[in-house]
Amino acid sequence: MAYWQWGNPKAAHVVLCVHGLSRQGRDFDVLAAHLVEAAQGEIRVICPDVVGRGESDWLKDPMGYQIPTYAADMLALLAQLHAQAAITTLDWFGTSMGGLIGLVVCGQAGLSSAGLPQEAKAPSGGSAAREAASVGAEFFSLPVSVHKLVLNDVGPAIEWLSIVRIGTYLGVPITFDSVQQAADAMWAISKGFGPHTPEQWLALSRPMLRPVPDAPGKLRLHYDPALAVPFKQASEASTLQGEKTLWQLYDNISAQTLLLRGADSDLLSPATAQAMGQRGPKARLVEFAGVGHAPTVVAANQLAAVAGFLLG
């Protein structure tokens, strides 16, 4: 699993930024640079490419492209970072899927540095949501409990129509003749990200592309198309069933929690956002007008909200 590191590699304060379903760690270039500057360099910002994306390897078994695998990978990464330089303060920023991974990790008290024994096993069989209840225990525990958690336009309840929308383009094979053509195509399905200048959108789009090996001059998206295999096996009924476990995990979170929401989001409903402010960690809600799913945290007001929370 590849990751991008910003700031002081020995800093004891680590912010882990985890991207959305079909994105990659370079999404956080602007946020990471802003946090490092605001913290006067005394911070490590770590932005992984979740397996199957960006510079990370692809899995042989596509059914591994699910939250339990991702959560275990993040625990392994944090253990490696802690071995390199001790972590004393750990914060988590998660966009969409990255927020769900954070919810699973932060919602398990047994994953703190006291930890579950490393020989503990996750349940065999059952749904991914049920298995998430003890994912990662057989590998590593958190070096320290997560202090502050930012959930970017995601919560325990996900609107089914949004899942259907994402499924219409996830994993569809497509090639491009230029970066600009690719950026235009991605913008057509990403209007929910909200207003961006052409320069901002190109900066977000370039890391999303890779050369096509057997087609000189052609470009493809960075991720493994097989990500769509487990995603498209989800049903409305299984999604609703998984919500129960996710709400239980959310209620267990002890980290200070900030919830970001695009005011026009089709994935995180106003009712879910309101409930998240009333139970569990009682997340503080910040909404951004003119934005849907999901804020890219490139705009100045979005950067200020996140930096103010994490560094304030």
Q: Report pLDDT digits (tens) over 16-73.
A: 999 999 999 999 999 999 999 999 989 999 999 999 999 999 999 999 999 999 999 9
Count the neighbouring beta carbons within 10 Å of the beta carbon of residue 8: 17
Cβ-based burial of 17 (10 A; exposed 0-12, middle 13-18, buried ≥19): buried
Judge whether residue 136 has pLDDT over 50: no
What is the model's pLDDT at position 139?
Answer: 55
Q: What is the mean pLDDT of residues 169-179?
A: 95
Q: Are 89 and 147 in contact (CB under 8 A)?
A: yes
Judge whether residue 263 has pLDDT over 60: yes
109 band by pLDDT with thresholds 50, 70 and 90: confident
> Hunting for tokens 């998240």 — which residue is that?
276
Judge whether residue 105 has pLDDT over 80: yes
Domain locations in the chain as residue ranges: 3-158+236-311
Q: What is the mean pLDDT of residues 253-273?
A: 98
Cis peptide before 294 (omega within 30 of 0): yes
Distance of CA 149 to the CA centre of its chain: 12
What is the model's pLDDT at position 163?
Answer: 94
pTM over 0.85: yes
Comparing 56-65, 232-241, 292-301, the range with the smallest average pLDDT is 232-241
The span from the CA of 156 to the CA of 283, in Å, is 13
Q: What are phi and psi of 213, to 5 degrees?
A: -55, -40
Judge whether residue 134 has pLDDT over 80: no
What is the model's pLDDT at position 112?
Answer: 63
Q: What are phi and psi of 258, to 5 degrees?
A: -115, 130
The span from the CA of 312 to the CA of 310, in Å, is 6
Comparing 89-93, 136-140, 164-168, the range with the smallest average pLDDT is 136-140
Comparing 31-45, 115-129, 242-256, 257-271, the range with the smallest average pLDDT is 115-129
Judge whether residue 126 has pLDDT over 70: no
As a dihedral over the C-alpha atoms of residue 102, residue 104, residue 107, residue 109, rounded to 10 degrees, the angle is -100
CATH of 3-158+236-311 given 3.40.710.10, 3.40.50.2300, 3.40.50.1820, 1.20.1250.20: 3.40.50.1820
Q: Which two tokens stand for residue 292?
A: 């849907």
113 band by pLDDT with thresholds 50, 70 and 90: low
Nearest to 269 by CA among 130, 118, 160: 160
Judge whether residue 128 has pLDDT over 60: no
Nearest to 230 by CA among 108, 113, 80, 129: 129
* Greater pLDDT, 309 or 41: 309
